[in-house]
């Protein structure tokens, strides 16, 4: 049963040092504000899970929050690489980060298995690649056809954090546009936090909208603009210029630290 609470309280209650946390949102609806609150509260030693680390995990890695990273594509979409992600893996700055990497298909199936409370998912993939030797997957024989397939282990994060356009006062959530793996992440996790652009009296169902009922969500927090510089379709636009700016600015450790101090540590989450 979802509890509506201010974002700082939700993060304090749900996310502890050392937890495995999946902040999801595939290009769209990335929960930046919640991630920033995790940084502000000084969480450490997190295992962060996310298909596309994007700028948010670049920031969290650069701030030393992350012990281990599970991912499938660590780039700045359409722009280039992620410099803090690279610096951590190539040079161990500000700390070494252990990695476990997969393909998108693998990660998507791992979340789906987690949501189904299955131990693994079965798919065609990974074979012939060097990824096989560097990640956790295993061959499995189909008992019906004899075909060799690939099993990937279920993801069961301690906490899933996602952003959506709206929730009602009971905490039922609706998101629309690109749905990514948010529903799977929420259902796979032990606890979940959904930040929303707005709280409404009643959800007005959208065509293609995904509704997540309040009884599978732990906490809902209002965070208007909380997906910026990603976006919440119909409410905010993706700030493509910021993604390009990040590519230039974040190359330098000092500039990065200064930017984070000013724009993340130096700010407070709204308590609405």
Partner 1 sequence: MTATTTEVTAGEVQTIVAARRLRHTKTVFIGVGRPSTAALLARMVHNPELILVYESGTIGAKPFRIPLSIGDGELAETADSIVSVPEMFNYWIGAGRIDVAFLGAAQIDRHANLNSTVIGDYARPKTRLPGAGGAPEIAASCGEVIVIAPHAKRTFVEKLDFVTTVGHGDGPGARERLGFRGRGPTAVITDLGVLEPESASCELVLTQIHPGVEVDKVREETGWELRVAEDLKTTEPPTDEELAKLRELLDR
Residues that bind partner 1 (CB under 8 A): 26-28, 51-52, 71-75, 77-79, 81-82, 85-86, 89-90, 101-105, 108-109, 111-112, 123-131, 134, 147-148, 177-181, 183-184, 208, 210, 231, 233, 237-238, 240, 243
Least distance to partner 1, CB of residue 38, Å: 23
Measured between alpha carbons, how far is 40 from 261 in angstroms, rounded to an integer?
Answer: 10
Q: Which is nearer to partner 1, 1 or 127 (CB)?
A: 127
Q: Least distance (Å) from partner 1 to the CB of residue 204?
A: 18
- In the complex with partner 1, the residue whose CB is nearer, 18 or 213, is 213
Element spanning 87, H or E: helix 83-91
Cis peptide before 82 (omega within 30 of 0): no
Considering the complex, state which of residue 76 and residue 222 has its C-beta at the smaller distance from partner 1.
76
Cβ pair 164, 31 in contact under 8 A: no
Give least dist CB 27 to partner 1, A. Answer: 3
Least distance from C-beta 169 to partner 1, angstroms? Answer: 27
Could you tell me the smallest distance in angstroms from the CB atom of residue 26 to partner 1?
6
* DSSP state string for 127-150: TTSTHHHHSS-EEEE-TTT--EEE
Which residue's CB is nearer to partner 1, number 105 or number 199? 105
Nearest to 156 by CA among 116, 124, 199: 116
CB atoms within 10 A of CB 216: 15
d(CA 49, CA 24): 8
């Amino acid at each position: 049963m979802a509890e509506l609470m201010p974002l700082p309280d939700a993060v304090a209650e749900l996310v502890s040092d050392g937890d495995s946390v999946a902040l999801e949102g595939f290009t769209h609806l990335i929960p930046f504000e919640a991630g920033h609150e995790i940084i502000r509260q000084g969480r450490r030693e997190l295992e962060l899970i996310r298909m596309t680390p994007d700028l948010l995990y670049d920031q969290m890695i650069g701030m030393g929050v992350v012990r281990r990273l599970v991912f499938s594509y660590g780039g700045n979409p359409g722009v280039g690489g992620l410099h803090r992600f690279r610096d951590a893996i190539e040079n161990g700055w500000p700390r070494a980060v252990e990695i476990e990497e997969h393909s998108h298909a693998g990660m998507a199936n791992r979340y789906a298995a987690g949501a189904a409370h299955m131990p693994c998912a079965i798919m065609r993939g990974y074979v012939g690649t060097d990824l096989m030797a560097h990640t956790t997957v295993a061959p499995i024989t189909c008992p019906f056809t004899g075909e060799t397939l690939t099993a990937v282990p279920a993801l069961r994060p301690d906490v899933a954090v996602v952003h959506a356009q709206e929730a009602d006062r009971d905490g039922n959530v609706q998101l629309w546009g690109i749905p990514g793996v948010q529903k799977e992440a929420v259902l796979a996790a032990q606890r979940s936090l959904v930040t929303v652009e707005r709280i409404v009296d009643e959800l007005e169902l959208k065509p293609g909208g995904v509704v997540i009922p309040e009884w599978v969500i732990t906490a809902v927090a209002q965070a208007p603009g909380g997906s910026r510089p990603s976006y919440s379709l119909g409410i905010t636009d993706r700030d493509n210029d910021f993604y390009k700016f990040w590519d230039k600015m974040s190359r330098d450790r000092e500039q990065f630290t200064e930017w984070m101090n000013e724009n993340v540590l130096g700010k407070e989450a709204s308590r609405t």
